[in-house]
């Protein structure tokens, strides 16, 4: 297994995919996105009934790895965002029920990943944010998935403030299905997976895919627009300064 590659385990009828880049806050680098896409695709082609997507370490996922974006060209950032979008859409395209196991903070594309899963269970200590709104690179593509979970006004609050909402608020807003004490997270995930995977797998797989087709019909068009805008926005001075200050561990100096 490559360094930092997700751990993939078959547990009965469930495939568990666990991000293991704890030292990097499970940031979604190009390499890690590629690994996750391969893992989800392989699980989707198996006879498993469900997929649990989780993570190790103090953060569920901090979103895009700025080291991939800072100084990158417009085509380079666009292709990165297209890869990320492919992962998000594959999570929804596979016939299995995909449940996010959120034990800690999920931000930006990490929050997008939670929003893209069919179901989500969060520990009480988890948090959720789209922090680009208070920085230099707005969370255009993450908000495509997040907004479809929480509705317009709440999406705008998340996007514009960039503030973290706690797990209880995420439950109230519709971003997650359950919030449980940290010690009960695994049991709650297993219980929901067991109930959500009952019945005909073929029927459920077709049903899941049709649900997305009728509920989110504009989503692909929205992603096309968001990719272009977010890729272009990565070239702005504010975005470059925000990423540079993050990587250099200093306070940003905004010029715009």
Q: What is the mean pLDDT of residues 46-50?
A: 96
pLDDT of residue 3: 57
Q: What is the mean pLDDT of residues 184-206?
A: 92
The structure tokens listed for 56 are 């190790």
Cβ atoms of 120 and 86 closer than 8 Å: no
pLDDT at 78 exceeding the cut of 70: yes
Cβ-based neighbour number of residue 153 at 10 Å? 9
Q: How confident is the model at residue 215 (pLDDT cuts 50, 70, 90)?
A: confident
Give percent of the chain with pLDDT exceeding 90. 78
Q: How confident is the model at residue 216 (pLDDT cuts 50, 70, 90)?
A: low
pLDDT, the chain, mean: 93
Residues 147-162 pLDDT 10s:
999 999 999 999 999 9
pLDDT at 35 exceeding the cut of 50: yes
Q: How confident is the model at residue 203 (pLDDT cuts 50, 70, 90)?
A: confident
pLDDT at 45 exceeding the cut of 80: yes
Rounded CA separation 149/230 (Å): 20
Q: Which residues contact 153 (CB under 8 A, 6 or more apart)?
A: none
pLDDT at 117 exceeding the cut of 90: yes
Return the half-sphere exposure (C-beta side, CA atoms, 13 A cut-off) of residue 173.
Answer: 24
pLDDT at 232 exceeding the cut of 90: no
pLDDT of residue 147: 96
pLDDT at 145 exceeding the cut of 80: yes
Rounded CA separation 197/194 (Å): 5
pLDDT at 1 exceeding the cut of 50: no
């Amino acid at each position: 297994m490559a360094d930092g590659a997700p751990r993939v385990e078959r547990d009965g009828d469930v495939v568990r995919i666990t991000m293991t880049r704890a030292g990097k806050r499970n940031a979604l680098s190009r390499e890690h996105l590629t690994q996750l896409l391969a893992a989800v695709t392989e699980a989707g082609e198996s006879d498993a009934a469900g997929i649990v997507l989780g993570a190790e370490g103090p953060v569920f996922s901090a979103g895009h790895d700025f080291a991939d974006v800072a100084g990158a060209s417009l085509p380079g950032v666009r292709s990165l965002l297209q890869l990320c979008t492919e992962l998000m859409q594959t999570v929804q395209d596979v016939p299995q029920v995909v449940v996010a196991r959120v034990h800690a903070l999920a931000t930006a594309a990490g929050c997008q990943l939670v929003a893209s899963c069919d179901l989500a269970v969060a520990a009480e200590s988890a948090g959720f944010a789209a922090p680009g709104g208070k920085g230099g690179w707005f969370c255009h593509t993450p908000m495509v998935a997040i907004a479809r979970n929480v509705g317009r006004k709440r999406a705008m609050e998340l996007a514009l403030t960039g503030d973290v909402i706690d797990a209880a608020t995420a439950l109230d807003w519709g971003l997650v299905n359950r919030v449980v004490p940290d010690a009960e997270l695994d049991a709650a995930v297993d219980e929901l997976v067991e109930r959500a995977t009952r019945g005909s797998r073929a029927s459920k797989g077709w049903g899941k895919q049709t649900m997305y087709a009728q509920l989110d019909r504009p989503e692909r068009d929205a992603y096309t627009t968001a990719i272009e805008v977010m890729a272009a926005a990565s070239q702005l001075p504010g975005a470059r300064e925000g990423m540079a200050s993050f990587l250099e561990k200093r306070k940003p100096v905004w010029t715009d």
